[in-house]
Chains A and B, each alone.
Chain A
Amino acid sequence: MRFIIIILLFLLSTSISAAESNSGQMPKHKWSFNGITGTFDRAALQRGFKVYKEVCAGCHSMKLLYYRDLIDIGFSEAEVKAIAAEYTVLDGPNDEGEMYERDARPADRFVSPFANDNEARLSNNGAYPPDLSVITKARKYGEDYIYNFILGYEEPPEGMEVGDGMYYNKWVGGNQISMPQPIYDGSVDYDDGTDNNAQQLTEDVVTFLKWAAEPELEVRKNLGVKVILFFLVLGMVVYLAKNRLWKEVY
């Protein structure tokens, strides 16, 4: 029985690391939010939001997020108000029965770049730019895939015909995609002096997307450690009691 417990503890530690990693050929990036005690780097999240706002948000919506959610990544309420106010939303009807435009408020959802799916398709050569709210959960290999994919634009290999309005990417299925390379060195200027090469920009924006998809990650891992410890300690006590009890049985 003692061996079983030791084996279980061993399995536990390996299964946690296995749960975190994906097998396969997708190169893995080192993320601050991986591991049992992983957390999001607030500065990286804020930089990542800037990259999203200035690059991705041109085409991609994030309909599941509210501006108020940004308080979680370290913006103050006043900053969030200012960010929201940069966008306009259609509200109404008012007392005269008319729809009217107003500045977005923290309680509003992220404003989408296109009025509807059809407009989005029309502006993007017929391809629909997917919503990014849960994108790291919606792709195999999650954040590692998104990271490699954004940096995966290359010249097509010799002999490969890339379709009209399509771009070669070595990680996407079929190696062709209608989205042009979104991030280059220096695409976005950082205010905090962080180097803005393509790798850094990508790492930051993917960190932001991971947070957007799993905002509960830090609380979850923190609570998880406590719950597992609870079961371990209780299990230990129950084990001793059970042994004591069963000694009388023969």
Chain B
Amino acid sequence: MSGNLEPRKYKNPFLNWIEFRLPIISYFEREYGDYPMPKNCNYFWSFGALATITLMVMILSGIFLAMNYTPHTDMAFDSVERIMRDVNYGWLLRYIHSNGAAFFFIIVYIHILRGMYYGSYKYPRELNWILGVFIYLLMMVTAFMGYVLPWGQMSYWGATVITNLFSAIPVIGEGLKTWLLGDYTVGNATLNRFFALHYVLPFVILGVVGLHVAAVHVHGSNNPAGIDIKSKNDTVKFFPYMVMKDALATCIFGVIISTVIFFGPNLMAEVDNYIPADPLVTPAHIVPNWYLAPFYAILRAIPDKLGGVVLMFGSIAILFVLPWLDRSKVRSCNFRPIYKWFVMLFFINFFVLGYVGMLPAEGLYLLIARIGLVYYFGFFLIITPFIHRIETPISLPMGISDVYLGAGEKKPILNSQKEII
């Protein structure tokens, strides 16, 4: 067989050569060029792209930080400060990385809430949702380990509190904790392995993100109306239409995150973490990073240690089965007049849990945390599975083109159509 017989799909012979041996060119064309996006997708659909970009930035900045970081209890704190002072633009790398972590969670939270509100987890995207929750879980583990690396007071005591949770597990608890720490207390062995894991886990996340994206591309993206794509007219090509929207979202995100990185880089940091770790001095309040605080609130809401641990892990585990808890066939909350408000309340409740998670667990705060905990599980176990029995969904639109109001002024007829809907 000579090369002449190879199919000529592209003008560029090099692309043809690659394509014939590894059809990666057509893959990218199909998945990131011609991929049909519902044209009514709003800017909430840009948060997936934003999360991917943030993950890349985190990995890149992290690699350069790792080149200058020393994972040893005697030197970790100083090496981080050396990055801030003596490494060229080291302060920029570190502030991008520390604030990037916080913004990564903000983006992913909005991404998750979007999926919940518009029912993106329902048939046929259940596996996609599961992969997403798995990414979220990996992110929490990675962020927790990353927070330990600067070896400040909050690093040390946060690690102590969280790893202590494992000792609550009956029978194997103490052994498991020692196995995780590599020592009887948080120490150099712990710092070393946390660094190793913090370096490798983002690449695992990257892999799962690949699966997550591949999975969503099988049946296509959901949309604010939550109805299926019926014709080609319902969609736009990913490139350039969605890419342009995502680019705009990225610019706006760039402005917001730059404001924090350059003008308030320590806003989301705990001041105690600028005090070197001291096993002999316990800080007045041990608080987690704010993005993990809702789960910390759930943990502390239960007076029993094992009960708190079970509920905390349960609160994450329950997310995995959400596609089977929700029995309603209607995806988008735009057409679910009652459930919509419960979902909104769930978002507010999650935020409130996070807020009290940062405060001492006593008095009113503890009461709020307990109410929040009850609603968190009540939402998943009672409201979500049974609400469809009393809820009459608003009738769904016929097709995506009926709800798409882009350049709406030109087509006033759409407004009347909307009323019918």
Chain A residues close to B by CB (< 8 Å) = 8, 12, 15-16, 18-20, 36, 63-64, 69, 130-131, 133-134, 137-140, 142, 173, 213, 215-216, 220-221, 223-225, 227-228, 230-232, 234-235, 238-239, 241-242, 245-247, 249-250
Contact = CB atoms under 8 A, between A and B. Distances in A.
Contact of B263 (A69, A221, A239, A250): A221
Contacts of A16: 259, 263-264
Nearest to A227: B258
* Interface residues of chain B: helix, strand, loop or mixed (majority): helix
B81 A134 contact: yes
B260 to A, nearest CB: 7
24 contacts: A8-B255, A12-B255, A16-B259, A18-B264, A19-B260, A19-B264, A63-B78, A64-B85, A133-B81, A137-B274, A138-B274, A213-B274, A216-B85, A224-B262, A227-B258, A228-B259, A228-B262, A231-B252, A231-B254, A235-B248, A238-B247, A246-B244, A250-B407, A250-B410
A23 to B, nearest CB: 12
Nearest to B247: A238
Given A231-B254, A235-B255, A20 B263 contact: yes
B262 A223 contact: yes
Contacts of B271: 137-140, 142
Closest 9 CB pairs of A and B: A224-B262, A19-B264, A235-B251, A138-B274, A231-B254, A216-B91, A137-B274, A242-B244, A231-B255
Interface string B278-300: 00000010000000000000000
A224 B241 contact: no
A19 B272 contact: no
Interface in B229-274: 236, 240-241, 244-245, 247-248, 251-252, 254-256, 258-267, 271-272, 274
A224 B263 CA distance: 7
B406 interface: yes
A167 to B, nearest CB: 21
B198 interface: no
A155 B271 CA distance: 29
B39 interface: yes
A230 B250 CA distance: 12
Contacts, number: 113
A142 B267 CA distance: 11
B92 interface: yes
B371 interface: no
Size range of the interface on B? 35 or more
Contact of A241 (B92, B244, B263): B244
Contacts of B92: 220, 223
A249 B39 contact: yes
Interface of B: 39, 78, 81, 84-85, 91-92, 95, 236, 240-241, 244-245, 247-248, 251-252, 254-256, 258-267, 271-272, 274-276, 284, 404, 406-407, 410-411
Nearest to A22: B267
A69 B84 CA distance: 13
A234 B244 CA distance: 12
Given A142-B271, A228-B258, A234-B251, 7 more contacts: A15-B260, A19-B260, A20-B264, A138-B271, A140-B271, A238-B248, A249-B241
Given A15-B259, A220-B265, A238 B39 contact: no
Nearest to A5: B252
Contacts of B247: 238, 242
B81 A246 contact: no
Nearest to B81: A64
A247 B407 contact: yes
A132 B267 CA distance: 20
A224 B257 CA distance: 10
